[in-house]
Amino acid sequence: MILAKGSTVTINSQGVDIQGALSEDVTIALKSNFRALAADFQNELTQVVDILGATAKSLTGGGVGFSSQFKQMTTQVWDKTDPARFNINVDFHRTPLNKNTGPQNVSGKNLMNIIKTFCAIPLPAESKDIPGMLIPPGPSPIEGIGLDRMVNGGEQGAKTDTYVNVTIGNINFNRLLLESAEPTFSKYTDDSNYPINCRVAFTFVSMWAATKKMIQDW
């Protein structure tokens, strides 16, 4: 799936929006892995049979040969499906796009603070109580299996930066993990010496394996 460049991008975390524009086309990776039906049935006995079959073929000049393998054993069956994954390069400017209120001028400092907030999402936090202890980013096991929604009437539990929501044009991607963020700041600055724009390369991945329903919900 490829999204057209130039689409407006909105990234939301903890109720905070940051808005920019795609700098190039985006490809979304959707992948399932398959394996041979009998892949788990290979053992020492089948190896012995294969060796005997190869030996018989050699001794008889190819007249007799056999093995433990059958074509049907190589039938490909589903092994796993990977989470949906995509990379986007987003341009952020001092005058962000806003279809509801029109262009809004923001200072370079405010733009920098917003970008720093979002670029910090994939990084661990530092414990306030135990010096040097790192608090991992991403969801807890409770969030991973959805218990936070079960006990909160379908709503996400803790209001943390565990998940982000991404909107590109009219396509909505909800409850994504922000895996990486690579900001490139403009060499040009405003009168306060902050960059006037920034391009950030984001990598997003779905929390769970991609499914048909996930695609339809987009």
Phi, psi of 103 (to 5 degrees): -60, 135
Distance separating alpha carbons of residues 103 and 65, to the nearest angstrom = 77
Beta carbons of 204 and 178 less than 8 angstroms apart: yes
Beta carbons of 130 and 56 less than 8 angstroms apart: no
Q: Is 75's pLDDT higher than 60?
A: yes
Q: What is the value of pTM for the model shown?
A: 0.74
Q: Is 87's pLDDT higher than 90?
A: yes
Query: How confident is residue 21, by pLDDT bands cut at 50, 70 and 90?
Result: confident
Q: What is the CA radius of gyration of the chain?
A: 26
Question: What is the sign, positive or negative, of the torsion defined by CA atoms of 87, 89, 92, 98?
Answer: negative
Beta carbons within 10 angstroms of residue 139's beta carbon: 19
Q: For the ranges 8-22, 93-107, 152-166, which has the lowest average pLDDT?
A: 93-107
